Amino acid sequence: MGSDRTPIFLCAALLLLLVVGLFIPNWLVFLFTISMAKGLVVLGLILLMRTGLVSFGQGLYYCLGGYIVGISGQHWGITDVALVFLLVVLAATLLSSILGLLLCRYREIFFAMLTMAFSMILYGILVKSEKLGSTDGFIIAQATLFGWQPEVEASGTWIFALAVIITLVALLVMHLYFRSPMGFGGEAIRENEIRVEYLGVSPRRLIYIKYVVAAVLAAFGGAITAVAAGHVDPEMAFWATSGEFVFIALLGGTLHVAAPLVGAFLIEIIRTIALDLAPYTWQMILGGSLLLIIFFLPKGLWSLLPKRREEEGL
């Protein structure tokens, strides 16, 4: 394997984004933040997809992350981002390590349907919770960092910076993981699970770990969305939200850790501008672009980039 320049590219790209973030208008900063949040969820999803499993229920952890942020601010009085995000990770790990015990036994459509079922259970519970505002959701208290309360006007920028840092760390870790034996194990399971077992590796354990990692990433995405948007509602756990994540994954492709980010940004920008240009037919523009990509770039946008040798060797 040759020298791996991806981490350097990733660092450079995201640091550049951080600098650019200081100069671009606020609405674009918000769009970038939401794209990164969704990109993180999809990063977890492609981890599962590389293993041949499609989760239609990442909304479960996306929503969990958002609601933990909201509840800790509104009901427990915890607004410190570092502490809240720690809680988010704990909650997502706990829930996914329980559900994972069941889910790692299922494959294909059964896995997809079960993940969706669990996320719809959370949706149902939240709709019935009038204390949490039912379908209206509730407003999130303004976030602080280590006791520092930023100006309301500057909050967009520092949440963006936070999102960039979390995304960078997540991308680096996942890149290393994808290239580790455990990471390649996913593709091996997708190709031939029985062989993997003969090699002495437990596919169930591998899938279990991947499921937990994907859950934590999704919860981070939800937490960032919640802090940035300032509001959570049960729609985050609805199947259509999870469906959008699968769409982004298809759009970006599963070939590279940065692909979900590109996919998420593209879908956000196409949608927001379509909504502006064609208030009555924006869905057609969005759907049309997705169809074009699925027909002509089945491996996602990332397949347009020239492949490097080391990647071909996979």
Partner 1 sequence: MAGRKNVRNYSPVQLATASIVCLLTAALCLGHPPSVRADEGTYKLGLVTFLSGAAAGPFGVPARNAAELIIEAINAGTLPSPYDSKGLAGMTIESTIIDEAGGGTKQVGEFRNLVQRRNVDAVIGYISSGDCLAIAPVAEELRALTIFFDCGTPRIFEDNDYKYVFRTGPTSTMDNVAAARYILELKPNLKSVSGMNQNYAWGFDSWNDFKWAMGVLKPDVDIKTEQFPKLGAGQYGSEISAVMVSRAEVIHSSFWGGDMEGLVLQGAARGLFDNSQGIFTCGETAMFRLSDQIPEGTIIGGRGPFGVFAPASPLNDWFRKSYMDRFGTPPTYPSYKMAQAILGLKAAVDKAAAAKNGKPNKEEIAAALKGLEFQAPSGVVRMSLGKGHQAVQEMVYGQFTKKNGKPEIYNVRRYPAECVNPPDGVKSEDWIKNSLKQTSCN
Interface contacts to partner 1, rule CB under 8 A: 25-27, 30-31, 34, 127-128, 130, 133-139, 152-153, 155, 225, 229-233, 235-236, 266, 268-270, 272-277, 279-280, 282-283, 289, 292-293, 295-297, 301, 304, 306-307, 311-312, 314
Kindly tell me which of 54 and 274 has the beta carbon lying closer to partner 1.
274
Beta strands in the chain (DSSP E): 138-139, 231-232
Give the burial class of 279: count Cβ atoms within 10 A of its Cβ; 0-12 exposed, 13-18 middle, 19 or more buried.
exposed
Helix or strand or coil: residue 148?
strand
Kindly tell me which of 205 and 307 has the beta carbon lying closer to partner 1.
307
Kindly tell me which of 102 and 292 has the beta carbon lying closer to partner 1.
292
Distance separating alpha carbons of residues 265 and 32, to the nearest angstrom? 7
Kindly tell me which of 80 and 235 has the beta carbon lying closer to partner 1.
235
CB of 156 to partner 1, least distance (A): 8
CB of 134 to partner 1, least distance (A): 4
CB of 264 to partner 1, least distance (A): 13
Closest CA to 83 of 73, 92, 74: 73
Residue 52 near residue 256, CB atoms below 8 Å: no
Q: Which three-class secondary structure string do you get for 114-135?
A: HHHHHHHHHHHHHHHCHHHCHH
CB of 293 to partner 1, least distance (A): 7
Kindly tell me which of 200 and 279 has the beta carbon lying closer to partner 1.
279
Q: Is 52 left (phi over 0), alpha (psi -120 to 50) or beta?
A: left
Kindly tell me which of 9 and 298 has the beta carbon lying closer to partner 1.
298
User: Cα(first)–Cα(last) distance of the chain, in Å?
Assistant: 10
Kindly tell me which of 106 and 156 has the beta carbon lying closer to partner 1.
156
Helix or strand or coil: residue 208?
helix
Q: Which amino acid is at 2?
A: G
Distance separating alpha carbons of residues 78 and 146, to the nearest angstrom? 11
CA 233 to chain CA centroid, nearest Å: 17
CB of 84 to partner 1, least distance (A): 18
Closest CA to 37 of 155, 170, 152: 170
CB of 239 to partner 1, least distance (A): 13
CB of 230 to partner 1, least distance (A): 5
